Amino acid sequence: MKTHSTKASEITRDWWLVDADGAVLGRLASEVAQILRGKNKPNFAPHLDGGDHVIIVNASKVVLTGNKLTDKLAHRHSGYPGGLKSVPYSKLMATKPEIAVEKAVRGMLPGNRLGRAMIKKMNVYAGPAHPHAAQRPKPLDLTKVAAPHNPDQAHTVEEVTGG
């Protein structure tokens, strides 16, 4: 018997459409990261970018459980001394929910050039419209894995900000 080693020429890429409406952010991010890495395929190779393209719509309707919406901070640094900027997730989700979803997925990908290539295959949109209809993406059902455990404890942006 011989062990099959996947080559870059053997990789085929599909397009997936993920509706983030009501999905928990971390569970959504872990499923999307698996698809971007290609772990859902039988010919997965950790040294190759064998994943598919992912389109995430309705990012503004993603759910953060517990007190994360009020307590969690999103950090970024300019690279200069004193250049740390912090934004609470309540403000980030109200203004730029695409960045919150992208940060969650990016944190679950490898931190090398392979991970940077994988994140380029993801497109995130705050609303339901996207310009990738020509690729005919397959819908991905996240209700089994990314639904809130207890919907009574899940908070939306409107509840916290009062808007």
CATH code: domain of residue 114? 3.90.1180.10
Question: Do the domain assignments include residue 161?
Answer: no
Looking at the 3D structure of the chain, how many domains does it have? 1
| Whole-structure pTM value | 0.88
pLDDT band at 158 (very low <50, low <70, confident <90, very high): low
pLDDT band at 149 (very low <50, low <70, confident <90, very high): low
Q: CA 106 to CA 102: how far, in whole Å? A: 6
Task: Of 31, 13, 41, give the one whose Cα is nearest residue 109.
Answer: 31
Checking if the pLDDT of 45 tops 90, the result is: yes
Question: Do the domain assignments include residue 3?
Answer: no
Question: Which residues constitute the domain of residue 45?
Answer: 14-152
Checking if the pLDDT of 25 tops 70, the result is: yes
pLDDT confidence of residue 162: 66
Find the helix or strand (DSSP H, E) in which 76 lies: strand 73-77
Task: Of 153, 150, 158, give the one whose Cα is nearest residue 61.
Answer: 158
Question: Do the domain assignments include residue 104?
Answer: yes
Question: Do the domain assignments include residue 1?
Answer: no
- By mean pLDDT, which of 20-24, 29-33, 122-126, 153-157 is the weakest? 153-157
Q: CA 100 to CA 137: how far, in whole Å? A: 23
Question: Do the domain assignments include residue 105?
Answer: yes
Question: Do the domain assignments include residue 119?
Answer: yes
Question: Do the domain assignments include residue 143?
Answer: yes
Provide the b/e sequence for 138-156 (b: ≥16 CB within 10 Å): eebebeeebebeeeeebbe
pLDDT confidence of residue 26: 94
Q: What are the start-end ranges of the H helices in the chain? A: 25-37, 68-71, 89-95, 97-106, 113-119, 157-161
Question: Do the domain assignments include residue 160?
Answer: no
